[in-house]
Chains A and B, each alone.
Chain A
Amino acid sequence: MTSTINLEGKTLSSTIAKLNAPLTQAFDPRLLNESPIAITPTPTHNTQTQRLADFETLTAALEYAAVGTAGYNFYDARGNLRSVLPYQALRQNARNSAQRLLSIGLTSGDRVAIIADTTPEFVELFFACRFAGLIPFAMPVPVNLGSHAVYVQQLRGMLEAGQASAAVANVDYINFLEEAAEGSQQLRWVGTPEQLGKFPVPDVALPPNHPDEIAYLQFTSGSTRVPRGVIITERALMSNLQGIVRHGLEIHAGDRCASWLPFYHDMGLVGMVMAPMVAQVSVDYLATRDFAIRPLQWLRLISRNRATVAFSQPFGLKLCTLRVRDSDLEDLDLSSWRAAGVGAEMIRPDTLRNFAEKFAPAGFDARAFLPCYGLAESTLAVTFSQVGQGFQSLRVDAGTLVDRKMAIRLQADGRKYSEFVNCGRALPEHTVKVVDDAGQLLPDLRVGSVLVQGSSIMTGYFNNPEDTRKTLQPGNWLDTGDLGFLFDGDLYVTGRRTDVIIVNGRNIRAQDIEELAEQQPEVRTREASAFGITDANDATTIVLVIECRLTSVTDRQSLTSRLQRLVYMAFGVNCLVELVPPHTLPRTSSGKLSRFAARQGFIQRTNLTDQLSAESGDI
């Protein structure tokens, strides 16, 4: 902690101040002693010549950024600046921590698991790992009521799948981590950043990284049993970052970022931690939890610091639209915001329209919308639309889309349509194609599986050749699991294949829910099917259909409420449980359950057809 300005020394979430004091009441005497010194964020205008991600490795990029004045700034729930971490201090602190990590016996290529709260300590440790030649991976923070046991199980799964040699969490989460680490043969050290900081800094050399070495692992989805760690090399990372800052965002002098995205998601970590740094741009952070409770604080940050680039999932934009009061708009000036990136889940045009309408009086320019598409298996970004052009969309006939998997542009009014957002075209050195079930290339406007090839594709899933083989097809084509079509070179994503359900912006694997059900004594293997249904208001509900032999009402009720509780604790969402007689669920010729057919059956039984939005999210 040599030169980090850190007012509290502890973590943000443990020290979040009283939230209900409006900013105008900042002289509340109780609050005064909490912020005794006025600190200033790192400047927007840098002193050094801007270089746009033309570095071979992440640490080489940090060495360069450390010469300038830009850096990371961390704000609390009330919008007060809590810590400032200039890239210069980050470099120094990370190098010191790197030497400490090596002094506890870790060697090049070992994995280090870090619970990723939005703190300077996380960023320092992440870069420390790279300086030491170690492979970091970020783990999530717990977010659900009553999720203690499930969260610990999730951490344990990641520690095992990533074969971590060391694991770090701040004081808020260390007890969960220690519980998860119990009995581990692999882990050599578990502790807090403060404990690590007490080790002496030995004088060991930190050799430069090689472009072919692994930069980090990225765990995908909130999977409970089999988390998968995406392997990203330095070369893939730098290729993607260059695509993002040069082609996607057209970063230039005067840009500044503001972000609430979690550091354990690829969009938060790659998009809003690494991408700004490799272009020597400053960033202002708000913890995800603080954004979720008071989304206005994110917009205030953008307004106050004149941010130009800020990303969100559609769900985050929805939260802003729903929860910000009209009376709050007067103090906001969002006119500096030139790139409002939207991605990480399917984008509904209405989400963008509602946001634009709500915030136009605050100076928000709808031309700032920048829809993009990507996934952790391709580092982060695959396609970007044209910056500064706003979002474009296509209305297609809903019936033809579902029945014939064809996107036919709407000719006449009055017919039921589906509208899809243009996600733009692939970054340089990347190709997107759409294929049918047999793997045959499809022409424009035909819906099929979206495949990607290019320089930022993952090497595979860590220690998981089976899933790697399934996902990386011959010719190194990555099967994204998404469905969509191409039109004039632009990608339109129409849905997810049925193995993933997206609720409130979170990816939930259907298999994980089914496995949770199958762990109950009353449920047999292959007798549970989970899928999502989306209503006309775009709200997705998880449905779990169980073949059930129980006859007593009490037993059935007990199973239903237990399943709902388990799903809630694991994923933070409510689910609808339907108990059906044995042999109700449709199976394929090989005896596998078909989630698509199960969903169709459910819709028929419940007469929901008309209330659901037309989607091609099934094959």
Chain B
Amino acid sequence: MASDYNDVLQKLCHHLKQFTGPDAEITPETDLINQLAIDSVKLLNLIMEIEDEFDISVPINALADVQTVHELATLIHQIRTANK
């Protein structure tokens, strides 16, 4: 299970790189809003990429409780686990 989460986290960080410089470090604690400045349009792109990458559908209501990279990775992991 933990390795699944780590896999999700790694892939997610790869997608998040587009919002930062190539050298910036993204950690689980990175704040999506403050540190990566993801506005609503970037968010749509990110969700589309996540859905394509992980073969899931992200319910919009769940995003209301997501602020950090860790929280987003956990959400993706949960959706994937529930689908299996």
Contacts and interface: CB of A to CB of B under 8 A. Distances in A.
Interface of A: 13-14, 16-20, 77, 141-148, 151, 172-173, 176, 289, 292-294, 319, 504, 561, 564-565, 568-569, 572-574
Contact of B37 (A14, A16, A19, A574): A574
Contact of B40 (A13, A17, A573): A573
Given A293-B47, A568-B33, A569-B33, A148 B57 contact: no
Interface string B34-70: 1001111101100110011001110111011111000
Given A19-B52, A572-B39, A142 B60 contact: yes
Given A145-B33, A564-B34, A504 B41 contact: yes
Contacts of A147: 63-64
Contact of B39 (A146, A561, A573): A573
A568 B64 CA distance: 12
A565 B44 contact: no
A496 to B, nearest CB: 19
6 contacts: A14-B59, A19-B51, A19-B57, A145-B64, A172-B59, A172-B60
Nearest to B33: A568
Contacts of B59: 13-14, 16, 172
Contacts of A573: 39-40
For chain B, the bracket of interface size reads 20 to 34
Contact of B64 (A176, A289, A564): A176
Interface string B17-47: 0000000000000011110011111011001
Given A172-B59, A504-B41, A293 B48 contact: yes
Contacts of B65: 146, 148
Given A145-B43, A573-B39, A561 B34 contact: yes
Nearest to A171: B61
Per DSSP, chain A at the interface is loop
Interface of B: 31-34, 37-41, 43-44, 47-48, 51-52, 55-57, 59-61, 63-67
Interface centre among A17, A141, A147 (most CB of B within 10 A): A147
A277 B52 CA distance: 36
B67 A77 contact: no
B33 A293 contact: no
B50 to A, nearest CB: 10
A488 to B, nearest CB: 37
Given A20-B55, A293-B48, A141 B41 contact: no
A18 B57 CA distance: 6
A561 B31 CA distance: 11
A293 B44 contact: yes
A13 B60 contact: yes
B52 A565 contact: no
Contacts of A173: 61
A77 B34 contact: no
Contacts of A14: 59
Contact of B51 (A20, A146, A148, A572): A20
A568 B43 CA distance: 12
